[in-house]
Amino acid sequence: MNKGPLLEVKNLKTHFQTERGKVTAVNGVNLSVNKGEIIGIVGESGCGKSVVAQSILRLLDHTDSVEYEGEVLFENQDLLSLPLSKLRTIRGDKISIIFQDPLSSLNPVYTIGNQIEETLRLHQKQSKKEAHKKAIEILRATGIPSPEMRVNEYPHQLSGGMQQRAMIAMALSCEPKLLIADEPTTALDVTIQAQILELIVELNQKFGMGVLFITHDLGVVSEICTSVKVMYLGQIVEETTTERLFQTPLHPYTQGLIKSIPQLEKNRHEKLHVIEGTVPSLSNIPRGCSFSTRCPFADQQCLNEEPVMEMVHPEHSVKCWHYAEINNMERGSRGGESNNE
């Protein structure tokens, strides 16, 4: 019996061969997901979050330009070294993924029912009648109204919220042990977004599955995640519990992300905080700290030497040369609050 993490990613690197040479989109990522946990990966667009998700299931294998390093252990099997035929038996069965845009994942020429039933017949070896019945049940579980009718409809006949629920139903049809959710609520309005998040938490608790939740929205992270990994330019720069992340953010990038969250109680004339500059190109990664070109605290050491991930608390690690001084400055600006160490 496997008593370790459900998923354990060790020093994952994902390289792409381009006209400008080899670029590294994911650079030494380590993370683990246990049964029943919801782990968040957060960061700006272009930081490598989605490439991590795609690398775990090797969804980039269709291109000859991709190259992986490290290990992706799922139930002690290294997914990076498995034959593709073996990996396909795990995808959609033990590990499922849902994406930001449901229409990119739903086939427009097949009914919703057909697409869910195909997954069940492939992985669960169910009969056509059994799969059809299960498809209706899982659609009902995701809150789609009149599932007996919707099961015979095509993706374009559903609203955006129902399309997303249908995609979640397809992902959960085989009751996977791990769900990877790659920005699943970004394109939805706030009401539907709240319903989808509530649904993911409910199904997480019901099935006890682990969830790797990828988002750029720290507000979403605060609602559902057990712990958080903050990514910048292909690297995890801070990781801790969700509570500690908001109470004691240590990395300047994390602090910038949190300050950028709109606050209702702020003065309406007060400008929204922004992180200056843009994420550098993968073909032109800074020499030292990857955040040094945008960090207001960067000095010569930051420009020349890459910091190491340092554990500052049993549940808190950060990759920054000056996190202690920066945190003391931040606490001073907030009136000397405790850092809850």
CATH number, domain of 42, equals 3.40.50.300
pLDDT single digits (tens) 115-131: 999 988 888 888 889 99
Is 42 strand, coil or helix?
strand
**What range does the domain containing 119 cover?**
7-225
Say if residue 79 is in the same domain as residue 209: yes
- Calpha distance 284→196 (Å, rounded): 38
pLDDT at 94: 93
Highest mean pLDDT: which of 18-22, 123-127, 252-256? 252-256
Cα distances from 206 to residues 172, 199, 201, in angstroms, run 11, 10, 9
Specify if 127 maps to a domain: yes
Say if residue 213 is in the same domain as residue 326: no
Say if residue 98 is in the same domain as residue 194: yes
Closest CA to 153 of 119, 114, 121, 127: 114
pLDDT single digits (tens) 75-91: 989 999 999 999 998 99
**pLDDT at residue 14 tops 70:** yes
Our count of domains for the chain comes to 2
**pLDDT at residue 152 tops 90:** yes
Q: Write out the two tokens for 106.
A: 């739903």
Specify if 54 maps to a domain: yes
- Calpha distance 158→106 (Å, rounded): 11
Specify if 340 maps to a domain: no
Specify if 2 maps to a domain: no
pLDDT at 266: 56
- Calpha distance 159→175 (Å, rounded): 25
Say if residue 254 is in the same domain as residue 219: no
pLDDT at 289: 96
The angle, 0 to 180 degrees and rounded to 10, between the axes of the packed helices 323-333 and 252-259 is: 30
> Predicted confidence band at 338 (pLDDT cuts at 50, 70, 90)?
very low
Say if residue 122 is in the same domain as residue 21: yes
Alpha carbon of residue 160 to chain centroid? 21
Cα distances from 35 to residues 110, 166, 171, 289, 292, in angstroms, run 33, 24, 17, 34, 36
Highest mean pLDDT: which of 101-105, 177-181, 215-219? 177-181
Q: How many CA atoms lie within 13 A of 306 on its CB side?
A: 12
- Residue where a domain stops, chosen among 196, 225, 254: 225
Specify if 233 maps to a domain: no
